[in-house]
């Protein structure tokens, strides 16, 4: 036994029935002490989803220390003793000491703190066109995908119109400015991206044609040509044989 260290003993004396006089045999068994109640000394006041910390348990001289979680879907204790914040809600942890030659095993009491949703990465459209042409469209792909429902809004619906299915139609000519959004969920807060823009250029129309060409005109007659398409600007007709048609 070490000098200066307190020890506790249980003393038992035994005198065999057949003997007479005083017994010369006795035994002494050390009695282990109960340590201070184990506790985590560096508990966070709160945490955010995706974070972690490494608990420090006191006392440190009462055997191996461990920590257990009341709900592994919120706080998961890893093999190295660290605690990962894998969900949101109340994280309840309990410290334990395994005991040793001097101390009995002991369990602490639950210590808890709140795990809050995290801010996701800034939402963005990962496939914006370099440019577009009037009458075209595309289906935006928004990242991240694990932070709730994704949506896209347009800075000018007369140039880019977002449809109910999430696709974007190029309904005008000019600068198309789109912004991605995530709605948030149990693990992540809602978030808005920044405007991403590209130019919408005029499209090439179908080849103009006269839709009411006479089948058998007569000399001295006339007609008024109808030109298609009608939505590609002012229509005009020129003659390549002015001595015949003017």
Backbone dihedral angles phi then psi of residue 221, each to the nearest 5 degrees: -85, -175
pLDDT for 241: 75
CA-to-CA distance for 101 and 31, rounded, in angstroms?
10
Q: What is the pLDDT of residue 18?
A: 57
Q: What is the pLDDT of residue 109?
A: 97
C-alpha span between 95 and 77 (Å, rounded) = 12
- Closest residue by Cα to residue 34 from 117, 97, 111: 97
The Cα 220–Cα 51 span in angstroms is 89
Which ranges in 14-102 belong to alpha helices (H)? none
Residue 54 and residue 44 in contact, taking contact as beta carbons nearer than 8 Å: no
Which pTM value belongs to this model?
0.71
d(CA 172, CA 99): 76
pLDDT of residue 15: 56
Angle at 100 between CA 99 and CA 103, to 5 degrees: 65
User: Comparing C-alpha atoms, which of 242, 89, 121, 127 is closest to residue 191?
Assistant: 121
Per-residue pLDDT at 93: 98
Sign of CA dihedral 122, 128, 130, 133: negative
Mean pLDDT by 10 residues, the chain (246 residues): 54 57 60 91 96 96 95 97 97 96 94 97 97 96 96 97 97 98 97 97 87 83 81 80 76
Closest CA relative to residue 235, chosen from 215, 203, 205: 205
Return the bridge partners of 188, or none. 118
Strands 191-192 and 227-228, sheet pairing = unpaired
Per-residue confidence (pLDDT) for residue 235, from 0 to 100? 78
């Amino acid at each position: 036994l070490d000098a200066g260290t307190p020890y506790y003993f249980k003393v038992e004396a035994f005198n065999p029935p057949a003997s007479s006089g005083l017994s010369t045999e006795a035994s002494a068994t050390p009695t282990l002490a109960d340590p201070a109640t184990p506790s985590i000394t560096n508990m966070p006041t709160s945490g955010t989803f995706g974070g972690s910390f490494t608990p420090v348990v006191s006392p440190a001289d009462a055997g191996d220390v461990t920590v257990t979680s009341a709900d592994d879907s919120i706080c998961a204790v890893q093999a190295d003793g660290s605690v990962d914040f894998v969900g949101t809600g109340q994280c309840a942890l309990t410290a334990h000491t395994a005991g040793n030659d001097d101390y009995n095993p002991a369990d602490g009491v639950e210590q808890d703190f709140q795990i809050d949703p995290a801010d996701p990465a800034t939402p963005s459209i990962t496939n914006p066109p370099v440019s577009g042409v009037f009458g075209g469209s595309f289906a935006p792909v928004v990242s991240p995908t694990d932070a709730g429902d994704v949506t896209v809004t347009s800075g000018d619906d007369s140039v880019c119109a977002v449809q109910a299915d999430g696709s974007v139609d190029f309904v005008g000519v000019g600068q198309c400015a789109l912004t991605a959004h995530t709605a948030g969920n149990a693990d992540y807060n809602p978030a808005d991206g920044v405007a991403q823009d590209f130019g919408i250029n005029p499209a090439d129309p179908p080849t103009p044609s006269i839709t009411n060409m006479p089948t058998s005109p007569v000399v001295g007659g006339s007609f008024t040509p109808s030109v298609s398409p009608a939505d590609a600007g002012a229509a005009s007709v020129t003659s390549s044989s002015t001595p015949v048609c003017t």
